[in-house]
Each structure stands twice: as C-alpha cells, then as structure tokens.
Chain A
Amino acid sequence: MSALFDLFGFLAVLLHGLDLVAQSVLVGSVAFALFVAAPLELPARSQTRGRRIVRFAAIATLITTGMATLVSALALRVSLDLGMREIVGATFVVAGVAKAAAAATIACLVRALTRSRTVRVVSVVACSVVLGAALTDTHAIARIDGSVALTLATIAHMLGAALWLGGLPCFWWALRDVDPAAAMALGRRFSLVAAFGVALIVAGAVVFAIFYIGSIDGVYGTAYGAMATTKGVLLAILLALGCANFLATHGIGTRMPILRTLRFVEVEMGIGVAVLMAAASITAATPSVDVVADRVTLAQIAHRVRPEAPRLTSPPPGMLSAPAAAHDGGRNAQDRAWSEYNHHWAGLLVVLMGIAALAQRTGHAPFARHWPLLFLLLALFLLVRADPEVWPLGPLGPIESLRDPEVAQHRLFVVMIVAFALFEWRVRTGRIESPALVRVFPLVTAAGATLLLTHSHAVGDVKEQLLIEMTHLPIAVLGIVAGWSRWLEVAAPRAEGRWAAWVWPSAFVLIGLLLLDYREA
C-alpha cells in the first residue's frame, strides 16, 4: 500500500505540474488575445496563430485536468475502498469537472474570440472558472486560519503566472510575424502585461511566506521552505531575462533586437515550465508552519555540507545488505558508503567534463573537444556499480538480471548514456551540424533537471530525506541553467551565445563539486 501511495503521489505531482502549465498558457493566451493582439491590431496570421494556441491550451487543460482528477479519484478508491458514487461528490472531482467544462467552452468559442463581445465575456468568465477550480487543489482552500488572505493571494499568484509565463508562447509567435517597426510596440505592450503579472506573483509570494513558512528556520529546515527557495532562485533567473527583454523594448535604441528577444523568450518559457513544476511540487508538500518536530537545524545542514575528502575507496560488495532490505529502509553503513563512493566518482568525472568543456571554449585546447567521451567512463562505472548483486560484481547473470525492473532500468540508462555521449561527441567534433539536432539535447538536459524538482518531498525519515534533498535541488537548478545556457549558445546571436558558452560548462563543474560533497550521514 505504501508503494502504491508513493506512485500515486508522484503521478499526482507530475500531472498537477502539467495542468498548471496548460492552465497558465490557456488563461495567458486569452489575455494576450484580448489585451495585446486585438488593441494593436496584429496581422491576421498572427491572431490566427494566437487562437490556435488558445485552442491547444484549452484541450491540454481538458486532458491534464481529467487525468489528474482520475488519478486522485483512483488513489481515494484504492486507499479507502470507496465507491465511485462516494468519490464523485468530493470537492476535487467537482472542481475538476468545472475546470474541464470551462476549458472545453473556450476551445469551442475561440474562433470568435476577438470578433464577438459575448464570446470575449464568456471567455473571461471561463478563465475565472479555470482559476477558481485550480484553487481547490492548493493549500489555501484547506487552511483553517487565514484562508481568505491565502485564497486571494493564490488567485493573484496563478493569474500573475498566466499573464506573464502563460502569455509567452503567443508573444513568441507574434514577434516572429510582425515587421520590425511593429515589434517595439508589441514588446512594450506585452511587457506591461507581464510586469503586472510579476507584481501579482510577488504579492502572492509575500502572503505565502507569512502564512505557510512563517519563520527563517522554516525556510531552511523544511521541505516546503527548501522548494520555495528553489522556486525563488528560478524566478530570479526568469526576472533577469524578463528585465533584459523589458529594457530592449523600452528605450534602448530605436530597433528591438528581435532575434535576441526571441531566444530569451524561449529560455523564459523553458524555465517557466520548471517554475510551474516546482509550484506543483510545493503544493504537495506540507507547509513549514505545520512541521514542528522534524525541522532540520542549521548545525545539521552545516555538518552535512562541510567539505570533506571524497570517498575514493569502496566497501566490498559482500558487505552490502540484500537489495530487498535496502529498498525497504534497511540500509546499513556499507550501503551508504557504496552510494557515496558512486556519487563521488560520478562527481569527479562531471568536474573533468566541465573543465574540458571550458578548456575547449578557450580555443587553446582543441583536444578537449573529445570530452563527451568521458561519459563512456561514467557509463562503464554505472554498468559495474549500479547493481552490485549482478555481474560482474555479483552472482546474477547479465541476462537473467534483466527480469528485475530496476536492473533493466539501470542497463537502459547505461545504453542511453553511451548513445548520447557518442552523439554529443559527434556534435563537438563537427560531424553533426544540424541546428535542430543540436538543440534536442539541451532540451533533454533541462527536462531531466526539471523532473528532478518533482521528487523533492520529505515524509517518513523526514530529516534525513530533507538533507539528501538539499543536495538534489541545487543540482536540479544547475541542470536547468546548463540546459538553457547551452540552448542560448547554439541559438542566440553571437554576443549572447558567447557568454552562454561559458555558463553551462561552469554549471557542469559546480554539479560535479556538489556530487563530490554528497553524503548520506
């Protein structure tokens, strides 16, 4: 039952994150159509594309809401053995149906969105229903104290995210369609809407900090606080990009740097998805004010992160606990030492890769372009060490071990790392030059790091889980920075690409250092 709960929990967070992205784009693109595209009388092609985005987001919201509601309903049915008739009346089910109906309404009416006043009014009402229904999946609706302030703050926060992050896809498409003379007006108009969105986000966040976190030790001592801090760091990065675009549209020269703005908007969209996934993760965590007994102290954090020599020798495989016992929480000191050894060697390799990538960037070390081949060493390391009960370290044969899903998963990762290492080596050595192919893997890096954000809660052995999580959250942020700076390197104009080319290898080095300092006790 515990494993089932965990699976439902992960699915619920993932679906909630996707639902937040879909609803933000839905509300944001309707707002863009009404408050940016129509007043500026953008070209017909641009407005048609905008309506397509609205329809796509409405259908996406319908799907994600439906799936999220279904998963929660199934979790309830399995855990409490309730009949579907009893479940249907639950608040989250009613809200899910209302949200789906509102999204479907918008999808049906979008064609007349900018032509009919009635459709505009109905769309605004439907967007309000979407946000109101989304409220029922947040902490605010369930709090006993301060629920009015928290409700208002949550609506402001979600509306702000929609106006800014949700409007970016429409802004990106419109910027590609308008002529350079009209681009400045478009940029200025949208940046005003986005700035209003930022103000709403910040106002909501202040209220959340007061009611959900409540104290400084709630920031660093709880999973909620750690995730909120991570989200704040990502928001700061977004604000820096948004500020650059804002300045580009408000008075720096007479012509807007369109290509640079487009690339920055692409990165804003990508990091915006990460922020919304982090928001879903926070929504599934217990607010800091409710975590009293299991807070991590500054001393415990300092003890855990103090620099120590990495573990470069490993306990023998024979001293490890059986895999089943380890998975059920029966890990011993040798298991932890084994895991730390794995992390430290992986960190060493990642640091070397980052240094080699930086060396290649200087232009004085042409041999360094072969650094992706270091990942082959990592793949070999994983092949040998990930499953000590399997060949070559253990008695289980390589073929029969594939019946274990976890072993099969590790072997698949090894194959993927080998394939991707060879692919990136071909990119680095100029054997692959296609711009589209070169962009796939920064995307995958950012996506993997974003996924890491959804695995960030501490229940059970609360303190220990949180201390481990505190290593993974910075790695996730650095992974997102690495992915999107590599994107800028390959896609942005020369000046921006040049500085971005220094950022992602530096992020590699920092990830490697974090892995070298990883400890489980």
Chain B
Amino acid sequence: MVALATLLTAVAVALPIPAFAHAVLLSSEPATNAVVATGPLRVRLQFSSRVDAARSRVMLLAPDGAETKLAFAHDMPPGMLAGLARVDRAGGWTLQWQVLSVDGHVTRGDVRFSVRAP
C-alpha cells in the first residue's frame, strides 16, 4: 500500500508535462503552406476563444530571420487578431503567434507560408 503510494507519486511527478492550450487557431490568412505574392499581406488569425489583443503578439519572420512585430487593427471581431504586413522577398516566411486568452492562459504556434518570386 505505502510503496504503491510512492510509485503513484513518482509516476505523477516523473510524467512528461505537456503544455496546456486554450485559444486554438481555427483558421488563418494566409493559410498554412499557402503561396502568396510579394507586396502587402493581409494577416488574419481566428481563434476559438476571445483573446486579449493588448497582451498578445504576432511576429512575422522573414527567410533571412528578420522579425517584424505585427500591429493589430482596431475593432476586430471576438477571437480574431488582424493586421497588415509586407513581404518583400521570395522564400519561406513564418507567422509566430502568442496569445493571451481572456481566461488567463497563454497559447502559441506558427503559421508557415511561402512567397513566390515576382
């Protein structure tokens, strides 16, 4: 009995601890693995929960690793982060998002897409 107690505690403590998730990305523009043209890029991320835009962040990573923080538009629908960016060169780009859901939990993820040469 007592060693089973230890065993259960040991298993509980030693188990891998996955992260938790609340705001799930339901859809994005550009979509994952989309191919877009160079120039202005409209970015929209729709989540499953209301997000705290003031305490969330979306970074645009260029093929050379340069990072640009996305400025969010005002008056977005609930659960959406949207803004305008610019993609000037061909290659693989990434939108790195990290959001604070209104219920106090942080979630993060990536959306990878490509820009075709002009």
Contact = CB atoms under 8 A, between A and B. Distances in A.
Contact of A409 (B4, B14, B106): B14
Contact of B24 (A286, A447, A449, A483): A286
Interface stretch (A167-175, A251-259, A455-463): A455-463
Contact of B19 (A5, A372, A452): A5
Consensus secondary structure, chain A interface: helix
Interface in A290-314: 290-291
Contact of B103 (A5, A137, A372): A137
Contacts of A138: 103
B9 A444 contact: yes
B14 A479 contact: no
Interface stretch (A106-114, A119-127, A412-420): A412-420
B66 interface: no
B2 A141 contact: no
Interface centre among A442, A448, A451, A483 (most CB of B within 10 A): A448
B1 A76 contact: no
Interface stretch (A53-61, A87-95, A241-249, A316-324): A87-95
Contacts of B7: 346, 378, 413, 417, 448
Interface of B: 1-24, 26, 48-50, 52, 54-57, 78-79, 98, 100-106, 108
Contact of A372 (B1, B13, B14, B49): B1
Interface centre among B7, B49, B52, B56 (most CB of A within 10 A): B7
Contacts of A379: 3
B108 A79 contact: yes
Contacts of A452: 8, 11-12, 15
A378 B3 contact: yes
A92 B3 contact: no
Interface of A: 2, 5-7, 9-10, 12-13, 72, 75-76, 79-80, 82, 86-87, 89-92, 136-139, 141-144, 283-287, 290-291, 346, 350, 353, 372, 375, 378-379, 406, 409-410, 413, 416-417, 420-421, 423-424, 427, 441-442, 444-445, 447-449, 451-452, 454-455, 457-460, 465, 472, 475-476, 479, 482-483, 486, 504, 508, 511
A142 B23 contact: yes
A138 B10 CA distance: 29
Interface centre among B18, B20, B104, B106 (most CB of A within 10 A): B104
A286 B3 contact: no
Contacts of A7: 17
Contacts of A79: 98, 106, 108
A89 B4 CA distance: 46
Interface centre among A2, A87, A141, A379 (most CB of B within 10 A): A141
Contacts of A508: 4
A401 to B, nearest CB: 16
Contacts of A465: 18
Interface centre among B3, B8, B14, B105 (most CB of A within 10 A): B3
A76 B2 contact: no
Contacts of B6: 413, 416-417, 420, 444, 448
A507 to B, nearest CB: 9
Contacts of A504: 1
A500 to B, nearest CB: 12
